[in-house]
Structure 1
Amino acid sequence: MEHENLLRKIYDLSDVELALLLSLLAREHCLISTPTTELPELVEELQLCATRTFGLRPVVVPCHSRTTVEDFNAALLVAASSPHPSGHVRRSPTDSRLKSEQRHRLHVPPLSPLTMTTTAPTELSAASHIANVVIARDLDRAPRLVQIQALELLRTRRIFTRTAIYAVPKQFLFVAVVSSDSKVVEEAGTRRVVAAQRLVPHLNDLLYLGHWHDPEDGFANIEEVEQSEVEEGKEEREVERTAQSFRSGADEGQRHGWSDNNSWDAESAASSESVLKTSYGQTTADAPAPSRSGGFTTEERDSPNDAVPPAIITTAEISTLAHLAEQVRVDVDVLRYQMNIVSFLRMHRAVAGGVTPTATKHFERLARSLAPLHGLDFVTPALVALAARKVYLHRILLTAPEKERSMQWGSDLAAIEAVLEGVGPEEVIEDVLEAVTVPV
């Protein structure tokens, strides 16, 4: 019954929430892309997903060409009035060699994602720690050194400042948010479509899965918050109208001399107004349970010192799904199907690289992780195909027409350009899935 309730909640999640859930389940990290015009909404949606769906504290790290490593490190940290989620921050043995207590921690005031500058950060308080969810917007536009710092953060699960070491919390997720826009470039008289920008190869390969969010699918959490704000506005207006009627009645009573028996005095009107606010605002213990949002209002979301609201998917439930994924069975025919997909991807004429050993490991893990989300204890060919679409979407490197394999044997460049025209990672994956025989 408990597993059925969990599956019911999973079926209600959006595509973005499912991408985050799969990454948290595997303790890996992901890349999410969308058109440039939709990036602000996607970032806001990811923040709401972290707080409302998983009960985790997010931070947005805006990146650009002038972002420094110090800016990146400072933006990862959040000031907390409560202890670190995973306990005290681990310290390196070399910390004891510092000459003074002032050098033990750096301190900066909390940074706003929209107002962060490229100036060097000031000192960070000892209570600061790395946020549970790091949303790196436009990470592909950051300098190479910043991307390498992000790579070290994911590999070692900690960052080094000038005088301190900050370890990531136990529940940690890094989300790279990039634009999916492409551009047309001209090389040697030929025109071809290429990705606008890419992450450094090792960082890109370390990201567990890639997801492209279609703006037509909407942003579920943003829409729910907006609807909640509209309903709250209606309730407040109704309370104000009712209170106004009581005040009007009190004024009318005073004109008729009713105040002597305290029927319509000011205290009665104030008391009635208080009762109405309790009824409409549902502040009593008899108020109904919170909705999918957990009763998390906009004011509560904007206050950094408030407690994290109840999560839809708790940490315990994520651990349960991870345990179930480890017990998933893979038939030998399904495993052969998976390996054939990898081989066909490597041999595809449009692929120049990206089908790495790390990608193969992530491919197998994601196929296993998808099974519990569908109520299965075994991997099906359909789950393998779905995992291939998510694992290799951001990894596949397309070859230039002049470097296509058949050019070594005298193929015509114009013919190759015609064959590769309009071919992207999605087309390559679908071509391979159609070519590989599905086990019965």
Structure 2
Amino acid sequence: MEFKRVVVTGLGALTPIGNTVPEYWNALVNGVSGAAMIKSFDTTYFKTKFACEVKNFDADGFLGRKDARKLDPFVQYALFSTEEAVKDAGLDFDKLDTSRIGVIWGSGIGGLKTFLDEVVNFAKGDGTPKFNPFFIPKMIADIAPGHISIKYGLRGPNFTTVSACASSNNSLIDAFNYIRMGKANMFISGGSEAIINEAGIGGFNAMHALSTRNDDPATASRPFDLDRDGFVAGEGAGTIILEELEHALKRGAKIYAEMIGGGMSADAYHMTAPHPEGLGAALVMKAALEDAGLNPGDIDYVNVHGTSTPIGDPQEIKAIQEVFGEDAYRINISSTKSMTGHLLGAAGAVEAIAAILALQHNIIPPTINHFNDDPAFDPRINLTFNKAQEREVNIVQSNSFGFGGHNASVIFKKYQA
């Protein structure tokens, strides 16, 4: 079977460091941290009091107060970033076959805020089951692509991928495969997450997963630094329009990049910890390279999972050294989570956008907040510390790993006719 080519024709982003793609990219290149003290709830009794929250997002202004109340924030975010991507791609759905346009969306948790609010309200009551009629449709993880398809009248394949922090990379891979096998012309794909609330922060605190650097939130996400102490929670959404090449050319679409491969693997090791030898991470990068028909030496930049956890960061670099060999010293590596925090199920999409823009601009966004070298990392590896670097970028790879041992990696290259 001859696969069809798949290209990126639209981007949308709602992040802790910018509410549009241009704002997001400008903040990445300039090393802006999105971390600050949490404003959305009282953190008095929480071990972690900061996060990378979305800023200046007006759900009522975007959706109208009545409709906004029917949607969990993770769906509001999804609709917002998707509107930008649809406009960016110049899509007029009245002129397209919407039965061949689908939505595949990733979210690791879904409507956590809705679930929390409804359970708290019930617990405070007299035992009478007084639940909001929108409770279930606001909460379920699959509802985001449902709302996107309803808004734009898209009748192609429609579902959610749920694989923790690998969710939106999995959504991109699924969309990529449907298009290249000729089962659809286009997908709206990506992911969203909204877990900065009492349950989200409290739950990750109970796992000792979050940084507790409350005295200096802006520098708390410090991947690969000797003094990293956990990840910083983030929220937001990223949308990528994937389209079959001939379909895109026929409608005169601008093309950001070509998606050429995706890999998936499992650690089969532990509920939350990565494999100590980076086995799953190595397998998924090899799988993506094989799918794309590439050698390790073809990659110029890897946007790593790089969460700023003591055990996670070394395993990923160990895997990169195994997969890339001597080329590990030639490529650029960076973790944009140092700026955005960890967007969980939305991380893959938001970071894939960063990788695609690195291709566009020949600029590697930095890993900020590096203060002290960790002897666990070979100093010959270019982790792009603290400052963006210019270089020729032709092919990029972006990794996402999730609780449960889920791993997904995607590869994009500069488009050539």
TM-score by length of 2: 0.27
> Which of 1 and 2 has greater Rg?
1
Instruction: Indicate the structure with greater helix content.
Output: 1
